[in-house]
């Protein structure tokens, strides 16, 4: 992963709470300030993601939904 091209975590096909669990594990492996694209088709994902980011201090930079597909860009908080 480079600073201008974030990795993608594809959690499509997994129901709640698995997308957030996988996101939490993956973002824990990143350095502070790194961004991650997350793809999900779980209907609860947008609300779960917003709550998770607020609770953990990570930045939800973008959240787009097209039909059942949700695409988010999350930046890991500092130490």
Among all residues, which ones are annotated catalytic?
16
Nearest to 42 by CA among 74, 10, 76: 10
Pick left, alpha or beta for residue 48 (phi over 0 → left; psi -120 to 50 → alpha; otherwise beta). alpha
């Amino acid at each position: 992963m480079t600073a201008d091209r974030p990795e993608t975590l594809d959690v499509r096909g997994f129901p709640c709470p698995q997308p957030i669990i996988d996101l939490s594990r993956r973002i824990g492996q990143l350095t502070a300030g790194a961004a991650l694209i997350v793809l999900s088709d779980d209907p609860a994902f947008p609300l779960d993601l917003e709550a998770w980011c607020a609770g953990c201090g990570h930045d939800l930079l973008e959240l787009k939904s097209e039909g059942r597909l949700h695409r988010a860009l999350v930046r890991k908080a500092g130490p």
